[in-house]
Every structure is written in structure tokens, then in C-alpha cells.
Amino acid sequence: MTERILSIDTFDIRFPTSRHRDGSDAMNPFPDYSAAYIVLRTTAGAEGHGFVFTVGRGTEIEVAAIRSLAKMIIGQPVDELVADPGVLSQRLIGDSQIRWLGPAKGVVHMAAGGLVNAVWDLAARRAGQPLWRLLAALSPEQLVAQIDWRYLRDALTPDEALDLLRNATGGRAEREKVLLDEGYPAYTTTPGWLGYDDEKLARLCAEAVEDGYRLIKLKVGANLADDVRRLAIARRAVGPEVRLAVDANQIWGVPDAIGWMRELAPFDPYWIEEPTSPDDILGHAAIRAALAPVKVATGEHAHNAVMFKQLLQAGAVDVVQIDACRVGGVNENLAILLLAAKFGVPVCPHAGGVGLCELVQHLAMFDFVAVSGTTQDRAIEYVDHLHEHFTDPVHIENGRYVAPRAAGMSAEMRPATLTAYRYPDGPEWTAA
Amino acid sequence: MTERILSIDTFDIRFPTSRHRDGSDAMNPFPDYSAAYIVLRTTAGAEGHGFVFTVGRGTEIEVAAIRSLAKMIIGQPVDELVADPGVLSQRLIGDSQIRWLGPAKGVVHMAAGGLVNAVWDLAARRAGQPLWRLLAALSPEQLVAQIDWRYLRDALTPDEALDLLRNATGGRAEREKVLLDEGYPAYTTTPGWLGYDDEKLARLCAEAVEDGYRLIKLKVGANLADDVRRLAIARRAVGPEVRLAVDANQIWGVPDAIGWMRELAPFDPYWIEEPTSPDDILGHAAIRAALAPVKVATGEHAHNAVMFKQLLQAGAVDVVQIDACRVGGVNENLAILLLAAKFGVPVCPHAGGVGLCELVQHLAMFDFVAVSGTTQDRAIEYVDHLHEHFTDPVHIENGRYVAPRAAGMSAEMRPATLTAYRYPDGPEWTAA
């Protein structure tokens, strides 16, 4: 009997992180890291897990969107689905009625991405491979066929993408060995949350250097005098060689960003992340031109490949920050990795939150093995929150992500977590 | 006792328009025009109505988002709310947790816009004024205070906006009289849906000219040979003087748009609307440069003021098409009207669907009286669908919108409609 998708269950999972101000930044002083969580089951008993990362209120809206889109997957034959998730990706994103609510952005796009990722998790589990390795074993032709090219050809044609991928096939085996032996560089945001006091900042910065990190990120943008003081503390703690990036989480307009960052220049910031609206491509280009050699980084809120295309076309970014849960899933992130490779801009994935490190490591590692072929000036964000809730949590050694060996996308939360943190009726919430 | 917001009811209202292919275009062959409908009631028995226009599936997601945001309004004092809806607008759009699902885009942004519009409807009803007139009576200072300037100052400062508005105060009374006497120009999309056959197209084009329209719009982009034939038919039917615009509803990439439109050039198209992804600012700029003197129009899917800002900064559009239900409500549309005025680009609002004509006429008329001061090269889209469901429907005379006199934003649907078309349990759906 043909194996089919039997059920898709959704869960509103919230962690009360705001109680300790973990994750606090200029735009979001009190986040409760959360997930609209997806479990997809087949008639043969196989599972695929996925989720959309959220920060508290509104997770119920994301759950509603996933439930609406899930109807389009129930009953689908599994062999076809996992052989070519690009078909599903385009059907979910292109639905002629639901696309009015986007198109390709916000709640409905993230819901599509969560479901697409769950199908890739299923595909990798069935193949007995970690996702990064499954992707890296696909042919250039198979990879290019996973992408919706409609709006991308003016920046990158499928033929150019094929050339890029073919050029990278040579060293795949060697790079896979390097990755398995040495892991992939990480950077840490753990020391830099706005809600932490000066003593904690200094201590965590020093610890990060001891732990092997060469890039540390601090949140800025709430108060200039505080930022100057905190950056001075951090620079003293890490010395002149370790890179210090700063992240404004969209707090500024274009002129504010330029003025504020000039005050922070004495502390040699490596990049300024999200200096303004994530939609403001021309604004990022203006900020980059004004602040060079300080780099401009963005992407965690860039809602689709068309936005990344323009950030690259406009010369608006030095660092592309993909996110595993913002765009339409693995397929759209393949397009973004190829665009970044074409323009020669390094990708440093956004992570942290809950489960973002677990998911996005697969994309960065695939990029190293099969697309860009390098980890030069690249690192995956790392924050040491909430990994204990996953069955295959990320593992960091000496400031590097250890390549995951288990089959899948590392997306699965522990069953006890799905019970305890379910909102609003799990015991962690009813007890509070 | 202080009057407060007592309740906010939401309705999933869908019209089975796909049965006759009304509204069919290249990206959406079978839309069911719908609305996530909002009724806000105060403790004194006053009402405000609003809605988010949708096209069928997914309306339930929009309803879920409205319900989540509505919690932030229940219990608010009405006098404060209607005296300064900008405060509410910024609170809804800026909620530190829900903004993760945007920010300022898609499902959650449209939900905020629907609620903000409902509050403006309440404000205008309490003032006993049609909304356009309430807005046109505000001082330049009051209008400027209604706008979130965070991301706009690099293109337009509050001081520049004040100057624009002050320069327009002089003729307000005269223009209000002209508007009341003569109405506001309309253009029609009724003849041009892709699902209509050639005979119907020719007949409706001729009727539109007889009815006084000087601009008619046709859908294109599904099949080039069909488009060439249909444009030839339309041009023959309307003669050389009436303007023919075409609308591709995002079907093309940038090179396709340029190539396809060159084939349609012999029929003298006035503008090409939505030639590519609504997110592709640089793409629109490239298309405009390649196709001049054919104009480029977009905006119905431009998700916030930052996108309009860039379309104007990049010289990407000749025509700005605001939509009453896409952005964060009246407040954000005020910003967009001021940006368009600053850049000297005419605004031709998107309408049609269900209730979009009713809402957006207020914004265009306000613009004429108090911002741009002109109707030159401006017209509001008109489609003769579904107006019978409103208590204060738009009225067209000789190709012009008659200025509404009733208090409010013309947003109220008839009670019988809310019963009959409720999805999925209203009799119009259970009978089908």
C-alpha cells in the first residue's frame, strides 16, 4: 500500500524566557521564546518534525496558519513528497488564494517554511542521513530543480547556479571530512543581551574567549551612553583581536543608524546588524556606504529570496544572515545560499531563539561542502539557551559546531517538553 | 461613566465569486472575494466597522490574527482612542512579541490595519462626518502626529510633511466644494478579467466608454497571443484617446516583463501594473527604465510605507496604488500619501474586491482636498462587484465617484450579508 501523510499535529510551545530577560534586545525587551511546532506522521509510522520560531504572543496565529496549510499535505504519497519537496514548496507558497495574505511573507510564508522543513526532516530520516549530508549528496541538477526561479533570474540564472554547484563538486568529499573532523565555526551572542548588567557582560565576554570564540555579538540601540560603556567593557574583556559585532534589532532610521554607529566606531565593531527596517534595502545600502569599513549584516527578518536578491544587487550587505524559519523552508534557503555565492558575500546564519541553531547548522554545513566551499569569514550564531529540549541538540567544541551525525534536521523536541511548555495549559504556564 | 470598547466581533465572510470567474487574473484564476470582518462596539452602543479584504482560503487565518490583536483594544477608553488613533496604530504594529511575525507585513499587519480602520470609522461616525472630511479638517500638526516616522525620515521629514500640508491648506474649502459637486475620477477594471470571452470584453469596453470612463484596465500575463488579441480588441473598442492600462498581477520575472510588454507596446498601454514580485523594488526600477514611456504602477501588495518609500526613492514607479486593507490602516496610508506628494508621483488607489472601493475613496478624496490638491492623472479603480452588500455603497456618475456624505468610512456590511455569506456555515455556502 502506498505510504501517505496520515496526520499533521501542531503545538503552541512557549518558554517563559522573559522572566530572566534572556534574549532581550532594543526592540524586544521581554521575549518568550516559542515555537509553532509540527509533527507530521505517515501511514507507515515515520515522522517529520518542524517548527516556526516565534517570541511569545501571536504563536497561536502561526499555529492557525500551519493548520490551514496542512490540509494541502494530508493524504499525499510520501515517496513523491520526499523525492521532490520543491513541488510541495511551490504549491504551499503559490496557493492562488492564500498568497493574497503574503505573498511569500509573514505568517503564511513562515507556516509554509515550517511544513517544508518538516518534510525535509522526514526525507533525511528515511534516508538515514543528517540533512546537511543528504543535501550535499544531491546533484547540481537536483539542487537547481528545488528552487522557484520566477523572480530570481535577473540576478542568477539556473545555468549560472549549475556552474557554481558543478565547480564545487570537486572537493566535496575532502570538505565533508574536514567538517566531520573539525566542525563549523560558531560565534556567540550569549554575553551581549541588553538585560544583563555590566559585571555579567564582562564575565561572559571573558568566558567566551576562553571557550574559543573569535566573534562575539552585543545588542545595542536602547541608550547610547550605555552602549558606549558596554562596548568599552566588552573590548577590554576580549582584547583587540577578537571581533565584536553589534546588533540594533531594527531600532533606528537611516540617519540615526549612521550617527549612533559613528559613536561606537572607537571600539572597532566588526558588523552592525539590523541597523534599520529589514525591508529597507536602499537604507541598508546608504548605511553601508556611510559606515565602511564597519560591515552591515542583515537577514533574520528578510522575508524571502527576492529581498536577499536585492540586498545583494544593491550592495547593501557585507554579511548575509539566513534564518531557518523565516523564509519558505530549505528550498528558499538553497536559493539564498546560491545568490550569496554568486555575489561573493559570506553567509553567517542567524540562530539562537529555540531550535534555530539546531536547524540552520545543516544549511551552513551544506553550503560549505557543496556551494561556497569555504568557512572563511563565516560563522553560525550560537546562543546557549533551550537546547536541552531537543532530542539531538547542537554540540559546540572550542567555538565550533560539531557536525550532526543523526538522521534528520535535528528538529525534534523531547516529548516531555511538548507536554510541559504547551501554552496556555502546560504545567510550566498553569503553575506561573 | 467613561465610554470604553466593549466588544470586538469578527466574521469570516466569503462570496463565491469564482463560480463566474469575476476577478480572475494571471495569478489567481478562481478567487472567492472575502473579508475578515470586524465590528467594534462601545459601552455607549456606538459602533466601528472594518475589515481585511481576502480572496478565499486563509480568511480564517486573518480572523485569528484580528482576534489576537483585538485583546489589546477591549476596555480602552473611547475618547482617547478616537482622539489619536496613531497611538493604537503604533501599539498594534509595534507589539514587541507579535512583531516577530512581520514586522509590519502580511497577516498581522493587515489585521492591525483592519482594527485601526474600524477605530477611524468609529471616530468619523461619532464626529458625524464622512472619514475623508474628518481627515481633511485636521490640522497639519494633527495629521503629522498620526504617523510613525521611525523609518521614513531619510525620504521625508515631519517638517517637510508639515510644509506640504500647510501649502495645501489654502484651497481646502474650494476643493471640498469641487469634490462635492463633481466627484472624483474613476477608472474601471470591469471589462478586463481574464476569464471573460472576446465578445464580452469588446462589449464591456464599449459600455465603459459610453459610461464616461477615460481609463480602462485589462488583465494580462497568462498567454501572450491571447493578450495581443485582447488588447487589439480593446483598443478597437475604445478608440485611440481612451487610456488602456494592463495588469500582470506579479506573473513575470524582470526579463519576462520587459520582453512581454514590448509585444504589447503597439496597443499603447498606459501603465503596466504589478509586472513582477511586489517586493522587487530594483526590479520595478529596471522594468520602468526599459519600458518608458509606458508607465509602471504598483502598490496593492506593497506591504508597508517603507516599501513605498523605496519605490519612490528608486524611481521605480510612475503611479502609486495604495490599498485600504494591505498596510496598517489609515495612519500608514497618510504617510504613503505624503511620500507620494513629496516625490510628485500620482496616487491611483487599488480597489475592487469587496469593499475596497468603499474604503479607499475616503483616502483619495482626503488627498485631493488636503494633500496633493489635484486629481490630475489620478483615478480610483472601480469594479462593479458586491457593492450591494454595503449599507453606504459607492456611487459612480459619469465615470466619477460621488463623494460620500454619510458619517464613517463606508465600511459597514448589511446584517443580512453577515448571515448569508458567513463561511462555512452561512446558507450561501451550505446550499452549494
Which sequence positions of B are flagged as catalytic? 219, 350
Position A315 scores a pLDDT of 98
Q: Which of residues 50-69 of A touch B (CB under 8 A)?
A: 54-58, 60-62, 64-65, 68
- Please say if A350 is a catalytic residue: yes
Q: Is residue A183 over pLDDT 80? A: yes
DSSP H or E stretch at residue A332: helix A330-343
Residues in contact with A421: Cβ distance below 8 Å, sequence separation at least 6, in sequence order: A13, A14, A15, A389, A428, A429
CA distances from B76 to A107, A208, B11, B49 (A): 27, 47, 22, 17
pLDDT at A342 over 90: yes
Which of the pair, A318 or B22, is modelled with greater confidence? Answer: A318
**Cβ atoms of A276 and A249 closer than 8 Å:** no
Q: Are B430 and B22 in contact (CB under 8 A)?
A: no
Query: pLDDT averaged over chain A?
Result: 97
pLDDT tens readout for residues B348-387? 999 999 999 999 999 999 999 999 999 999 999 999 999 9
Of B172, B65, B56, B146, the residue nearest B421 (C-alpha): B56
Average pLDDT, chain B: 97
Q: What pLDDT sits at residue A231?
A: 97
Q: How confident is the model at residue A29 (pLDDT cuts 50, 70, 90)?
A: confident
Sign (positive or negative) of CA dihedral B278, A336, A115, A388: negative
Q: Indicate whether B30 pLDDT > 90.
A: no
User: What's residue B208's pLDDT?
Assistant: 97
CB burial of residue A53 (10 Å; 0-12, 13-18, 19+): buried
- What's B294's DSSP letter? S
pLDDT digits (tens, 9 = 90+) for A32-74: 999 999 999 999 999 999 999 999 999 999 999 999 999 999 9
pLDDT value for A160: 98
- What are the residues whose beta carbons fall under 8 Å from the beta carbon of B214, sequence distance 6 or more? B185, B187, B241, B242, B243, B379, B399
pLDDT of residue B24: 75
- Taking a C-beta distance cutoff of 8 angstroms, is the pair A208, A188 a contact? yes
Give the pLDDT confidence score for residue A28 in this predicted structure: 78
pLDDT bracket for residue A418 (50, 70, 90): very high
Residue A22 has pLDDT above 80, yes or no: no
Q: Region B416-423: what's the mean pLDDT?
A: 98
Q: Please give the residue that has the higher pLDDT: either B195 or B231.
A: B231
Once rounded to an integer, what is the mean pLDDT over residues A65-85?
A: 98
Q: Per-residue pLDDT for B421 more than 80? A: yes
Burial of A315 (0-12, 13-18, 19+ CB in 10 A): middle
- For residue B394, which of B132, B62, B75 has the smallest C-alpha distance? B132
Spatial separation of the C-alpha atoms in residues B160 and B10, rounded to whole Å:
39
pLDDT exceeds 90 at position A288? yes
pLDDT at residue A61, rounded to an integer: 98
In the structure, what pLDDT confidence band is assigned to residue B297 with cuts at 50, 70 and 90? Answer: very high
Measured in degrees and rounded to the nearest 5, phi and psi for residue A86 equal -60, -35
pLDDT at residue A24 greater than cutoff 90 = no
Res. B14: pLDDT tops 90? yes
pLDDT tens per residue, range B244-295:
999 999 999 999 999 999 999 999 999 999 999 999 999 999 999 999 999 9
In sequence order, which residues have a C-beta less than 8 Å from that of residue B101 and are 6 or more positions away? A54, A58, A61, A62, A106, A107, A110, B107, B108
ipTM over 0.95: yes
Q: What is the pLDDT of residue B125?
A: 98
Cα distance between residue A130 and residue B386, in whole Å: 53
**From the candidates A109, A217, A219, A309, which is the catalytic residue?**
A219
Q: For chain B, list the domains and their CATH numbers.
A: 5-138 (3.30.390.10), 172-417 (3.20.20.120)
One DSSP character per residue, B88-156 reads HHHHHHH-TTGGGG-SS-HHHHHHHHHHHHHHHHHHHHHHTSBHHHHHHTS-HHHHHHTS--TTTTTT-
Computed on alpha carbons and rounded to an integer, the radius of gyration of chain B in Å comes to: 21
pLDDT confidence of residue B20: 76
> What integer pLDDT is reported at residue A25 of this predicted model?
80
Q: Is B283 on the interface with A (CB under 8 A)?
A: yes
Instruction: Tell me whether residues B105 and A307 touch, CB distance under 8 A.
Output: no
Residues near A55 by Cβ (< 8 Å), separated by ≥ 6? A23, A28, A31, A32, A33, A34, A353, B96, B97, B100
Q: Are B362 and B132 in contact (CB under 8 A)?
A: yes
Q: What is the C-alpha separation between B41 and B118, in angstroms, rounded?
A: 10
Q: Which pLDDT belongs to residue B432?
A: 72
Nearest beta carbon to residue B100 from set A54, A280, A310: A54
Cα angle B107-B113-B115, degrees, rounded to a multiple of 5: 105
DSSP collapsed to 3 states, A10-43: EEEEECCHHHHCCCCCCCCCCCCCEEEEEEEEEC
Instruction: Give pLDDT, residue A113.
Output: 98
Residue B339 is placed in which grid cell? 511620500
CB of A149 within 8 A of CB of A158? Answer: yes
Q: How far is CA A121 from the centre of its chain?
A: 16
Nearest to B54 among A28, A100, A104 (CB): A100
pLDDT grade, residue B410 (50/70/90)?
very high
The C-alpha cell that represents A354 in the structure block: 529555540
Which H or E run includes A237? Answer: helix A224-238
Test the A interface: residue of B277, B288, B312 with most A CBs within 10 Å: B277
Which of A289, A252, A293 has the alpha carbon at shortest distance from A271?
A293
DSSP 8-state code for residue B369: I
Q: Cis before residue A415, ω within 30 degrees of 0?
A: no
Are B11 and B418 spatial neighbours (Cβ–Cβ below 8 Å)? yes
Rounded to 10°, the helix B281-291/A305-313 angle is: 70
A24 to chain B, any CB pair closer than 8 A? The answer is no
Q: C-alpha cell of B32?
A: 472567492
- Among candidates B58, B98, B250 on the partner chain, residue whose Cβ is nearest the Cβ of A108: B58
Give residue-wise pLDDT tens across range A104-118: 999 999 999 999 999
The single-letter DSSP state of residue A153 is T
Cα-flanking dihedrals φ and ψ of residue A297, to 5°?
Answer: -125, 140
Altogether, the residues listed in chain B come to a count of 432
pLDDT in tens, B83-94: 999 999 999 999
Cα-to-chain-centroid distance, residue A222: 24
Across the interface, which of A54, A286, A303 has its CB nearest the CB of B105?
Answer: A303
What is the phi/psi pair of residue A151, to 5°? -105, 10
Residue A18 binned pLDDT confidence (cut-offs 50, 70, 90): confident
Report the SS3 class of residue A382.
strand
Neighbours of B197 (CB within 10 A): 9
Q: Is B25 on the interface with A (CB under 8 A)?
A: no
Residue A23, pLDDT > 80, answer no
DSSP B320-350: E---TTTSSSHHHHHHHHHHHHHHT--B---
A314 touching B (Cβ < 8 Å): yes
pLDDT at B142 over 90: yes
Confidence of residue A195 (pLDDT cuts 50, 70, 90): confident
Q: Report the percentage of chain A scoring pLDDT > 70.
A: 100
Residue B124 confidence (pLDDT):
98
